[in-house]
């Protein structure tokens, strides 16, 4: 059936199944009156965005907005495209225009929250995502934004909690797994982080960030690095200061021999931490493209 | 009745929306792509603190804070923490110079140990001030620059300056 | 009395053969009089002329089922669906399916009777495949697997049935693009000498709600009506994209429909060999890969040296060549797909044409041209292999990509930095 809508339907289907290049090919063949359809420009923008051609995506979306300035989808995507280019001011104008038309749209509120978070306004970001969560508590996109903002604020426990809430509704959400893994690794729980990173990568091995996270977590949980777990858990500074405190205490208690042995062991551990990790890293990453 | 209830539910949301939906990013300038303007990995600053001392760590933290676009207050907090750390180094050096040390600890060792500890504690303060902005930067795909050139200059340059200043001030106060 | 009326109607139709309402009346009268075959003949004429009214389609279909004319019944059902009828279509489908189930393994395909209305109705999707294994260069191991898994059960169903194996079912060809998956599927159909149906996403997808699923169902219905046959679903990942990754609703409905068709509640898909090809097996919905559906998987790797030699031989067969050592070129063109080899030959031809234009002569293609073209070309399979490697490394816990994992250990792959 050859109707004007058919290529758009096919194009949209290719976008839905993660083939933006095919979608773009189909849309290239469209011409004339079909180009007056704002939906064409939205799908074109979506395809270009998916191909990381953000500037072109923004251009296409603006053309669509000339035909339909009230189109919330076009404005939302334009905001995302501008954000990807680092043009936060333009992204804000687009998302606020969309919010004027749909002020209680949880996805838009979340998008604005992530935008202001990128601009360093974490308090405002939190209020926006909390409001979005009140409006639609089960929205996965809102959940992701909430998790992200908690993580950015340094509240890793809250980030873990919000991430796990997403996973109760959508156990195969790869982004949620990744974010929970990141939050856990910040808390020093490398084994738990590794499980989530591994799941994220198995669900979506094409995301480089996920693959890299798995490799890093395999590295940090490698048996050769077990002696260095305290450094991962508490940080280098705290371990050093703790070691100095133990050493001075032993000396103060007159346990010179014990202090000496402890000092040797600590120095050996330090040397181990300088030699083994780089070798292990070289071994694990050999043959991989950076 | 229902309409009134809905209006009552909606009123606080509407008020909140009015407050939140005001533009606040219109003055935001996009980041330049030049590598020398990129921030550095936070964890590497610990080496600058350990080997260079408080002043080195303060300089590196301040420059990194500017690259991360910390607010004016946060940058001032970094400088203030650095100043406190420097003063603490002087005080501790003065006290340890006068105190009787245990056998296992020479005055020189004790001073070095103490000033390193103070530098590391100050680094922890810098870390906490920079961490949220650093996370935001990394989360949104920011790439890091190399701390090596500035770090080495800070360690050797400001490390020497700190040593000299502490010596002079302690000598002046003790004498 | 009714016999007189029937005779009168027949006489009237001889004078005015295009009087379709009259013919319809005759068909109904014949049916009432119990003259089923004659009634069916009249319905068939009306159907061929496109003049059987929608309200009569299902009745005609049921009559055809009772008379064991399943092809006609399927055609009536198809027309009824196209006309937008809903009530009664499921019941007619069930009756057709039940008849298929009764018929068992061996079935002789009767030709559709051609009435005075014209040529027999042939579906737009059906083809007669002329390609055979002889047209597919190399890949001898893959051909052997296909022969054992697919062709023999169809050719000797008696032996396989004795051991509880059935012909038909689902086979999935997976591998990098341009390596001959679709060609192999077509060649399999050609070897089996069966009618071949090719279903593509462009044929199925429709903007109207529910029509895509209907189109898919119609394709399967048509194939079943013409069984034994081969049904090829090209780009299975586009038609049955993993539901957990999907963003839209149309795709999910298509996957559900596909699952229904594959399950087909019973044995309706016997004698229908359903083959699918995909470059992205990781994007195919997992439910389709379970037993009873596409549980037979054949990995079609990039052509080996012998296959590349054969492909080059075919590509250069009609071109002017001189002193070619195709074995050497084939050896150097590691991991090149069939499409890459075609590009290689085309680049060599471009060079020769340039020389011909400059020299006003007609130089042949030589080793120099091919080797020069080889320098500038990179196998397109590398990108696929790089992608596949990620899935093998991070998503192969249930060993679903084991054949790909085994191929990635091959020396020619390991020597490349993916």
Assess A290–C contact: CB distance below 8 Å, yes or no.
Answer: no
Which residues of chain C fall short of a pLDDT of 50? 105-124, 265-267
Nearest CA in chain A to C253: A13
Contact A151 B102 (CB under 8 A): no
Q: Is residue C292 part of a domain?
A: yes
Co-location of C251 and C327 in the same domain: no
φ/ψ of residue A15, rounded to 5: -65, -45
- Do C and B make contact via 3 or more CB pairs under 8 A? The reply is no
Which residues in chain C are closer than 8 Å to A19, comparing Cβ atoms? 238
How high is the pLDDT of residue C90?
62
Q: Is C104 left (phi over 0), alpha (psi -120 to 50) or beta?
A: left
Span A256-263, mean pLDDT? 90
Query: In CATH, what number does A1-103 get?
Result: 1.25.40.10
Same domain assignment for residues C220 and C240 = yes
Q: Which two tokens stand for residue B125?
A: 């303060």
Q: Which chain C residue has the Cα nearest residue A170?
A: C244
- What pLDDT, on the 0 to 100 scale, is given for residue C230? 86
Q: Which residues on A lie below 8 Å from B30 (Cβ)? A: 85-88
Distance from CA of A205 to the nearest CA of C (A): 5
Q: Averaged over A270-282, what is the pLDDT?
A: 91
* Contact check, Cβ <8 Å, A289/C417: yes
| CB C257 within 8 Å of CB C305 | no
C296 phi and psi angles, rounded to 5 deg = -105, 120
Model confidence at A129: pLDDT above 60: yes
Q: Which residues contact B130 (CB under 8 A, 6 or more apart)?
A: B42, B61, B64, B65, B68, B70, B78
pLDDT at position A5 over 90: no
Low-confidence ranges of chain B (pLDDT < 70): 1-11, 98-108
Report the residue from A96, A152, A237 with minimal CB separation from B136: A152
User: What are the residue boundaries of the structural domains of chain A, listed by start?
Assistant: 1-103, 154-221, 225-290
Same fold, A1-103 and A154-221: yes
Q: State percent of chain A over pLDDT 90.
A: 70
Give the ipTM: 0.82
Nearest residue to C172 via CA among C194, C192, C195, C145: C145
Q: Are C243 and C285 within 8 A, CB to CB?
A: yes
Which residue is it, tokens 């979340």?
A: A110
Please indicate, yes or no, whether residues C143 and C271 belong to a single structural domain of this protein. Answer: yes
Of B20, B69, B113, the CB nearest to A120: B69
Please give the pLDDT value at position B11. 63
Q: How many CB atoms lie within 10 A of CB C362?
A: 10
3-state helix, strand, coil in chain C (%, to 5): 55, 10, 35
**What pLDDT score was predicted for residue A91?**
97
Identify any residues that bridge with C229 across adjacent strands, giving them in sequence order: C272
Give the pLDDT score at A83: 96
A203 neighbourhood in chain C, CB within 8 Å: 395
Distance CA A125, CA B20 (A): 9
Determine, for residues A152 and B43 on separate chains, whether the beta-carbon distance falls below 8 Å: no
| Residue carrying structure tokens 């080195």 | B56
Q: What is the domain-level CATH number for residue C44?
A: 1.25.40.10
pTM over 0.80: no
Q: Which of C113, C96, C104, C102 is nearest to C225 (CA)?
A: C96
What whole-number distance in Å separates Cα of residue A150 and Cα of residue A128? 12
Q: Which of A9, A17, A205 sits opposite C206 (nearest CB)?
A: A9
Distance of CA A42 to the CA centre of its chain: 24
Q: Is the CB of A202 less than 8 angstroms away from the CB of C387?
A: no
Give the phi and the psi of residue C286 in degrees, each rounded to 5: -60, -35
Hey, are the CB atoms on A13 and C202 less than 8 Å from each other?
no
Q: Could you tell me if C132 and C247 lie in one domain? A: yes
- Asked if the Cβ–Cβ distance from B30 to A88 is below 8 Å, we say yes
Take residue C53 and report the two structure tokens written for it: 């009214």
Annotate C188-227 with b (16+ C-beta within 10 A) or e (fewer).
bbbbbebbbbbbebebbbbbeeebbbbbbbbbbbbbbbbb
CA–CA gap between residue A136 and residue A142 (Å, rounded): 8
Specify the pLDDT at position A236: 80
Q: Which of C238, C273, C264 is nearest to C129 (CA)?
A: C273
Q: Which residues pair with C230 in a beta bridge?
A: C196, C273
Interface of B with A (CB under 8 A): 13, 16-17, 20-21, 23-28, 30-31, 43, 46, 50, 69, 71, 102, 104-105, 113, 117, 120-121, 123-124, 131-133, 135-136, 139-140
Measured between beta carbons, the chain C residues lying within 8 angstroms of A5 are 207
**Chain C residues touching residue A9 (CB < 8 angstroms):** 205-207, 250
Residue C117 lies in a domain: no
Residue A223's CB: how many other CB atoms inside 10 A?
6
Confidence at residue B99, expressed as pLDDT on a 0 to 100 scale: 64
B25–A131: do the CB atoms touch at under 8 Å? no
Checking if the pLDDT of A182 tops 60, the result is yes
In terms of phi and psi (left: phi > 0; alpha: psi -120 to 50; beta: otherwise), the region of B144 is: beta
Q: Which two tokens stand for residue A140?
A: 């996965």
Domain that includes residue C22, residue range: 2-103
Query: Which pLDDT belongs to residue C107?
Result: 36
One DSSP character per residue, C342-353 reads: HHHHHHHHHHHH
Pick the CATH number of A154-221 from 3.90.1150.10, 3.40.50.300, 3.40.50.980, 1.25.40.10: 1.25.40.10
For residue C112, tell me if it sits in a domain.
Answer: no
Is the pLDDT at A200 greater than 90, yes or no? yes
Strand C126-128 and strand C272-278: the pairing is: unpaired
Provide CB contacts within 8 A for B60, sequence distance 6+.
B40, B45, B48, B147, B150, B151, B154
Question: How many secondary structure helices (H) and strands (E) does chain C include?
Answer: 21, 6
**Chain C residues within 8 A of A18 when measuring between CB atoms:** 241, 245, 283
For A118, which residue in chain B has the nearest alpha carbon?
Answer: B136
Q: What are phi and psi of B103, to 5 degrees?
A: -60, -40
Distance CA C184, CA A107 (A): 47
Query: Which pLDDT tens digit goes with each residue over C366-379?
Result: 999 999 999 989 99
Interfacial residues of A (vs B; Cβ cutoff 8 Å): 85-89, 91-93, 96, 99-100, 103-104, 112, 115-122, 124, 127-128, 131, 134-135, 148, 151-154, 236-237, 240-241, 244, 248, 251-252, 256, 259
- A92, A241, A259 ranked by CB distance to B23: nearest: A92
Cα nearest neighbour of C243 on chain A: A17
Average pLDDT, chain A: 91
């Amino acid at each position: 059936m050859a109707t004007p809508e058919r290529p758009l339907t096919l194009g949209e289907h290719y976008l839905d199944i993660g083939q933006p290049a095919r979608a773009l090919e189909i849309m290239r063949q469209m011409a004339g009156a079909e180009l007056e359809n704002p939906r064409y420009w939205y799908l074109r923008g979506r395809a270009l965005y998916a191909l990381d051609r953000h500037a072109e995506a923004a251009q296409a979306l603006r053309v669509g907005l000339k035909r339909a300035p009230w189109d919330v989808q076009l404005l939302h995507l334009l905001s995302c495209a501008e954000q990807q280019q680092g043009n936060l001011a333009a992204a804000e104008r687009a998302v606020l225009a969309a919010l004027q038309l749909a002020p209680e749209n949880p996805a838009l509120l979340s998008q604005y929250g992530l935008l202001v978070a990128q601009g360093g306004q974490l308090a405002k970001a939190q209020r926006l995502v909390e409001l979005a969560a009140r409006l639609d508590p089960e929205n996965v996109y809102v959940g992701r934004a909430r998790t992200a903002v908690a993580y950015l604020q340094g509240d890793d426990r809250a980030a873990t909690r919000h991430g796990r809430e997403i996973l109760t509704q959508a156990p195969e959400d790869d982004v949620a797994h990744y974010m929970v893994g990141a939050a856990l690794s910040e808390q020093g729980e490398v084994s738990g982080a590794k499980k989530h990173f591994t799941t994220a990568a198995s669900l979506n091995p094409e995301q480089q960030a996920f693959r890299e996270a798995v490799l890093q977590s395999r590295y940090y949980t490698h048996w050769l690095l077990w002696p260095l777990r305290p450094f991962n858990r508490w940080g280098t500074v705290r371990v050093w200061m703790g070691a100095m405190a133990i050493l001075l205490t032993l000396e103060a208690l007159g346990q010179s021999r014990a202090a000496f042995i402890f000092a040797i062991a600590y120095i050996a551990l330090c040397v181990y931490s300088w030699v083994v990790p780089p070798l292990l890293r070289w071994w694990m990453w050999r043959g991989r493209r950076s | 009745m229902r309409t009134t209830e809905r209006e009552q539910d909606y009123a606080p949301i509407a008020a909140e929306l009015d407050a939140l939906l005001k533009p606040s990013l219109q003055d935001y300038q996009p980041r330049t792509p030049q590598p020398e303007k990129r921030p550095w990995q936070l964890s590497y600053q610990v080496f600058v603190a350990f080997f260079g001392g408080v002043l080195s760590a303060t300089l590196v933290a301040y420059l990194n804070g500017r690259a991360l676009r910390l607010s004016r207050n946060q940058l001032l907090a970094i400088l203030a923490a650095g100043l406190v750390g420097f003063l603490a180094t002087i005080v501790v050096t003065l006290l340890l110079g006068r105190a009787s040390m245990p056998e296992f600890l020479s005055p020189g060792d004790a001073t070095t140990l103490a000033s390193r500890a103070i530098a590391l504690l100050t680094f922890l303060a810098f870390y906490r001030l920079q961490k949220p902005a650093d996370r935001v930067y990394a989360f949104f795909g920011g790439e890091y620059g190399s701390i090596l050139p500035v770090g080495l200059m800070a360690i050797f340059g400001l490390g020497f300056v700190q040593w000299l200043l502490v010596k002079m001030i302690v000598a002046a106060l003790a004498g | 009395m009714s016999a007189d009326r029937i005779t009168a109607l027949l006489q009237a139709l001889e004078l005015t053969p295009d009087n379709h309402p009259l013919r319809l009346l005759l068909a109904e009268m014949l049916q009432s009089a119990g003259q089923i075959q004659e009634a069916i003949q009249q319905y068939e004429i009306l159907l061929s002329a496109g003049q059987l009214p929608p309200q009569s389609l299902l009745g005609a279909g049921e009559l055809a089922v009772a008379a064991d004319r399943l092809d006609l019944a399927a055609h009536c059902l198809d027309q009824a669906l196209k006309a937008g009828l809903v009530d009664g279509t499921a019941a007619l489908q069930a009756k057709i399916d039940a008849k298929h189930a009764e018929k068992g393994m061996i079935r002789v395909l009767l030709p559709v009777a051609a009435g005075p209305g014209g040529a027999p109705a042939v579906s737009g999707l059906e083809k007669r495949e002329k390609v055979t294994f002889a047209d597919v260069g190399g890949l001898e191991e893959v051909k052997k697997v296909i022969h054992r898994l697919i062709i023999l059960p169809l050719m000797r169903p008696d032996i396989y049935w004795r051991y509880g194996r059935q012909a038909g079912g689902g086979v999935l060809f997976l591998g990098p693009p341009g390596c001959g998956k679709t060609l192999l599927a077509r060649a399999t159909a050609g070897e089996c000498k069966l009618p071949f149906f090719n279903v593509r996403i462009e044929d199925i997808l429709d903007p109207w709600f529910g029509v895509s699923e209907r189109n898919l169902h119609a394709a399967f219905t048509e194939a079943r009506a013409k069984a034994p046959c081969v049904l090829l679903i090209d780009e299975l990942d586009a038609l049955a994209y993993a539901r957990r990754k999907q963003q839209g609703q149309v795709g999910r409905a298509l996957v559900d429909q596909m699952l229904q068709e594959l399950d087909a509640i019973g044995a309706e898909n016997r004698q229908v060999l359903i083959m699918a090809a995909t470059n992205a097996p990781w994007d195919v919905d997992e439910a389709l890969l379970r037993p009873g559906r596409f549980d037979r998987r054949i990995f079609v790797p990039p052509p080996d040296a012998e296959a590349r030699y054969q492909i080059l031989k075919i590509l250069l067969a009609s071109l002017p060549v001189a002193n070619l050592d195709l074995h050497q070129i084939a050896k150097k063109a590691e991991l090149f797909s069939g499409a890459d080899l075609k590009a290689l030959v085309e680049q060599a031809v471009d060079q020769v044409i340039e020389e011909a234009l400059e020299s006003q002569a007609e130089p042949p293609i030589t080793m120099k041209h091919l080797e020069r073209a080889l320098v500038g070309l990179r196998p397109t399979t590398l990108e696929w292999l790089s992608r596949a490697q990620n899935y093998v490394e991070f998503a192969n816990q249930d060993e679903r990509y084991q054949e790909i994992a085994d191929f990635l250990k091959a020396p020619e792959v390991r020597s490349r930095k993916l």
